[in-house]
Structure 1
Amino acid sequence: MSTLENLRAVLRMHQIGIVNLLRPDHLLGAAKRNARLGPQAALIMKAAAEHPHAPALTDERGTLNYRQLDEQSNALAHALRELNLPERSVIGVLARDHRGLVLTISAAARANLRLALMNTGLAPQQFAEVVARENVRAVLYDSEFAPVIEALPGDLPRYLTWADEGAADKTIDMLIAGRPITPLPMPERPPGFIILTSGTTGLPKGAPRTKVSPLASALIADRIPFPRQGAIVVASPLFHSTGFGAWTVGLSLADHAVLLRRFDPETILRAIAEHRAQMLVAIPTMLTRILALGPEVIAKYDTSSLRSVFVAGSPLAPELTTRFQDTFGEVIYNVYGSTEVAVASVAQPAESRRAPGTVGRPPVTVHVGLYDDQDAKITRAHVTGRVFVRTGIPFEGYTDGQRKQVIDGFMATGDRGHLDDAGLLYIDGRDDDMIISGGENVYPLEVENLLAERDDVVEAAVIGVDDPEFGSRLRAFVVSTPDAAQDPQEIRDYVRALLARYKVPRDVIFIDELPRNATGKVVRRDLPSGPL
């Protein structure tokens, strides 16, 4: 990243309120803590010093202010050090969104332990394989995941981050009790953390982050209006990059994170109204379920405080964007990115209105490039190519040693897309989702978005299945509204009238819901692809 880009990022952080260039003493202290602890623990310490009585988080157990969160983080860090694990050992956490997870994230860094954030959707055997691969030395977990934990060796230390009735293991509340609330000596460098990829095509990979640039907050907040000391309802799981990144930026602004262990659409609206939340962090399927509540239920809650909805994690259908904004106002910020590259681009509300389907433009310090299959750069508009991203948060490579392709400093995302004449980016589909039918390339996303425009379709997924004549043919799985006719021929005729012949699904199957993982992504391998 060039010096000029660094300066632009710092200035943008000042404008947003993340840093105050008029207080260089505060700035230097924050930079030192970030360099030795990493951003999450460092930002909690900063907020505790500057806004000790401001609410830091609310969950089912109530509210913690920043001073309480900081002191309890220190106490838990002391307890973790007493496990006598070697410095920078990996500990794992398998938890939903609540104070136990936040305390674990903050305390692990202070105790100089590397934290692996585990996906709550892992099956026992998958979880055991990830724990072994990442060399996890202790596990903190919610009691509901006890059956998953049973797959681990019996001598692996384990503690409860959330305890339901009848839970057996020691809780972190017990660990904290009686421990000092004074900070431990800071490590020389941050131990870092590991976020797992979504794992839609196999066992999730570990994507480590050891040294996170203090400019990372600018990358996320540049094109998205975050509140300052306001409330953010975080519906996306913190163990994944969407919720984790948005929550971290919120810490830099001393925001109040409203955390929910389980998603319920009406609970989301109630939380926005109760806390006068200015931001919602969500994945697209959550927006679908909120709208499905219907006008009467939605009208029961005053959501007029809402200024932005940070949406990421899976493709956002243009039709869903329009319907949500028609109901809640111009609030959708459609974020395109990945665990590996963080935020690549953001479509602001006006851009989505003007250019439905766009994922917008890159934020400060980020550059997007398109390359063809021969690795030559594409410079013309409306030409589809492979999407590559160069960012100020460089990817360190997966923990299993694999890496993404890099060209001219740009890293592959695994997606294909194009730019329009105005320079707005569109994602056409994933490389591994592309279907070759009769020699023609088809990206399912185009067909899925078209089907979602129908009033009688809630959502759809399209896959390729073997075909003796064409090699592959399209099979559409459709979730319809309760009053839909569910006529496969009507669906085929609809697509045929609007798209090329080879994009028409030969098979149309109506199902109650699409299979999704814990981060909301459709798991296509779970859709039946055999003979009908």
Structure 2
Amino acid sequence: MAATADRLKVTARSLKVLREAGLSGGLADGVRSAKMVKTYGPFAGIIETAALRDADAVAITDEMGDLTFAELNARVNALARGWTEAGFGRGDVVAVLCRDHRGLITVLAAAGKIGAQTLLMNTGFAKPQLADVAHREKVSVLVYDEEFSGLVDAIDPRVRRYVAWGGADSAAHPDDADSSLERLIRSTSSAPVSGPPQPGGLTLLTSGTTGTPKGAPRGKTSPLFSAQLLDRVPRRRGETCMLAAPIFHGTGLGQAVLSLALGNRLVLRRKFDAEETLRAVANYRCSVLVVVPTMLQRILALREEIRTRYDTSSLRIVFVSGSAMAPDLVTRALDEFGPVLYNLYGSTELAVMTVAMPEDLLHDPRTAGRPPVGCSVRLYDTDGNQITAPNTIGRIFAGSNISFSGYTDGRGKEVIDGLLSAGDVGHFDETGRLYVDGRDDDMVICGGENVYPLEVENLICGHPDVDEVAVIGVDDPDFGQRLNAYVVPVEGSAISPEDIKDYVRANLARYKVPRDVEFLDALPRNATGKVLRAQLIGGAVK
């Protein structure tokens, strides 16, 4: 009875959140939207609904110009019909290797309409990763931007290929090619298509920072899932969103879906440029900016005369996710944009775990915030016992309205009490805010003392002469393990390794002082900004 009552409370609160955001405009509208999503899947169902409700509103603005919801839906129907006529449908896997543009959105929706599984490929993959993933996931259709032609030749030639965008810097589709996605769309009827027996699904890929990326299929999503994103991030209907985060990543994907569902104008750019992002925010009066931490860092690193050239006062929300944010970056962002910063803590497998709102980050820039409606986060010790005491570190487990049934290679993640391991350790403070203390497998034992590198990393990052830093545990013959710090100094700085060590020594315990400090021009990162720590340990970066 108690569990049923709790579920009813969550449902009631979720519906209230959706109404406030403008996603629940009445019973008829809600039933129609739910039916569309059930028939076609999230992307296609949302676009179908928006085409009926906001037909002439701009859905996407990219380097090709504006595209209304009605025009976008017509493109989706044409592509779905063209693929059906070519014999593709349920059981096929459509891999997408594209930057952010209308073609990517069209493919995601069209694949859902024919019942195919969509595999979102990371544009930063190397040839071996692409080939391994395509073979493992049994890809039958590949859609890619022409700039990646040199990579996709590693994939089985029997896979049907379509080019979505021509040339690395071209603002034109390759219409003259038989394999052109645009040609197929323009040569096929855009009449409505009937739904498949079962809508297609999505498979996201993990970052692959330690090997071949794992496939994480997104299972059936609760109709109330959007409430998890909206409960602590007050997005609203009819706004304009500058989506800088890549859509192949969970952050970009989730915010793209939410933008379309809200009837928002989605501003996309194929490649991230810090100044261009500010220009777009100013030109389109964007109220929402979605970035990963590295992008935010690049924006704030622009010279002041460049930043002040663009009016960003329209921003109500600067939404950041994808990797940990250093407290110093949080503070600088709040100083630059005001109390509009929202930081989501999630993962490919779990989507949303907690969200830090501006008031949370002003309270303490280190916090990951609180779980939104429909999410549960608990801490457990190594024996599987729940930790309830504040300020006690434990392993983080979470559950939400996104279902994860295991990776496509058959592996899974540890589950306790129905909650999935996040792979991180953390603690709650007395107010119920979560703090992430590091990766579960990153803990370093230095001379018998437990150290989480993230604490040292965050401290060094706050030094005025440090641009960015990574702290890693490595083997040591005397102490078992030790800390190494890889530092990118501020341009023109004369800081030395001893300065870094003295700074840590003055603020933390002596056993947390890095044994070695190495200066680099830049940290190696993947396409979503995560540091490639294996390259640092292996000495591949200088």
- Name the TM-score, length of structure 1 as normaliser: 0.97
Equivalent of residue 10 in structure 2, options 5, 14, 19: 5
Q: Which residue of 1 aligns with 2:3?
A: none
Alignment of 1:287 onto 2:296 = yes
- Does the 8 Å contact 1:58/1:257 carry over to 2? yes
SS at match of 2:377: strand
**Matched letter for residue 14 of structure 1:** R
Alignment of 1:17 onto 2:28 = no
Q: Tell me whether 79-88 or 471-480 shows the greater mean CA deviation.
A: 79-88
Alignment of 1:221 onto 2:230 = yes
- Does the 8 Å contact 1:137/1:157 carry over to 2? yes
Q: Which residue of 1 aligns with 2:163?
A: 160
Q: Which residue of 2 aligns with 1:360?
A: 369
For residue 529 of structure 1, report the CA deviation from its aligned partner.
Answer: 4.4
Equivalent of residue 131 in structure 1, options 126, 134, 141: 134
Equivalent of residue 62 in structure 1, options 62, 65, 68: 65
- Does the 8 Å contact 2:51/2:70 carry over to 1? yes
Give CA-to-partner distance per residue, 1:56-98, whole Å, 9 cap, x none: 0111111101010000110011111122135231111100000
Q: Which residue of 2 aligns with 1:239?
A: 248
Give CA-to-partner distance per residue, 1:482-517, whole Å, 9 cap, x none: 121130001001001111111100100110111111
Matching of residues 44-59 of structure 1 within 5 Å: 44-59=47-62
CA distance in 2, matches of 1:87, 1:390: 29
- Name the TM-score, length of structure 2 as normaliser: 0.95
Matching of residues 448-463 of structure 1 within 5 Å: 448-463=457-472
Q: Which residue of 1 aligns with 2:143?
A: 140
For residue 214 of structure 1, report the CA deviation from its aligned partner.
Answer: 1.3
Equivalent of residue 497 in structure 1, options 487, 496, 506: 506
Equivalent of residue 102 in structure 1, options 102, 105, 124: 105
SS at match of 1:52: coil
How well do the aligned residues superpose, as a CA RMSD in angstroms? 1.5
Equivalent of residue 83 in structure 1, options 68, 82, 86: 86
Q: Tell me whether 90-99 or 394-403 shows the greater mean CA deviation.
A: 394-403
Give CA-to-partner distance per residue, 1:207-258, whole Å, 9 cap, x none: 1124221111111111002132111011110011000001111111100110
Alignment of 1:476 onto 2:513 = no
SS at match of 1:42: helix
- Does the 8 Å contact 2:438/2:453 carry over to 1? yes
Equivalent of residue 250 in structure 1, options 238, 243, 259: 259
Q: Which runs of 5+ in 1 are unaligned?
A: none
- Does the 8 Å contact 1:35/1:211 carry over to 2? no
- Does the 8 Å contact 2:323/2:530 carry over to 1? yes
Q: Which residue of 2 aligns with 1:36?
A: 39
CA distance in 1, matches of 2:455, 2:219: 37
- Does the 8 Å contact 1:465/1:529 carry over to 2? no
Equivalent of residue 180 in structure 1, options 182, 189, 198: 189
CA distance in 1, matches of 2:60, 2:441: 39
User: How many residue pairs were aligned?
Assistant: 530
Q: Which residue of 2 aligns with 1:375?
A: 384
- Does the 8 Å contact 1:190/1:211 carry over to 2? no
Query: Share of identical aligned residues, percent?
Result: 48
CA distance in 2, matches of 1:255, 1:213: 21
CA distance in 2, matches of 1:191, 1:71: 19
CA distance in 2, matches of 1:455, 1:62: 41
Matching of residues 403-442 of structure 1 within 5 Å: 403-442=412-451
CA distance in 2, matches of 1:78, 1:396: 31
- Does the 8 Å contact 1:57/1:256 carry over to 2? yes
**Matched letter for residue 14 of structure 2:** A
- Does the 8 Å contact 1:158/1:169 carry over to 2? no
Give CA-to-partner distance per residue, 1:331-382, whole Å, 9 cap, x none: 1101100011111000111110112200100000101100011110000000
For residue 415 of structure 1, report the CA deviation from its aligned partner.
Answer: 0.3
**Matched letter for residue 194 of structure 2:** P
CA distance in 1, matches of 2:162, 2:120: 15
Q: Which residue of 1 aligns with 2:30?
A: 27
Runs of 4+ in 1 over 4 A off after TM superposition: 165-169, 529-532
Q: Which runs of 5+ in 2 are unaligned?
A: 1-5
CA distance in 1, matches of 2:486, 2:539: 13
CA distance in 1, matches of 2:198, 2:16: 26
CA distance in 2, matches of 1:177, 1:392: 38
**Matched letter for residue 304 of structure 1:** S
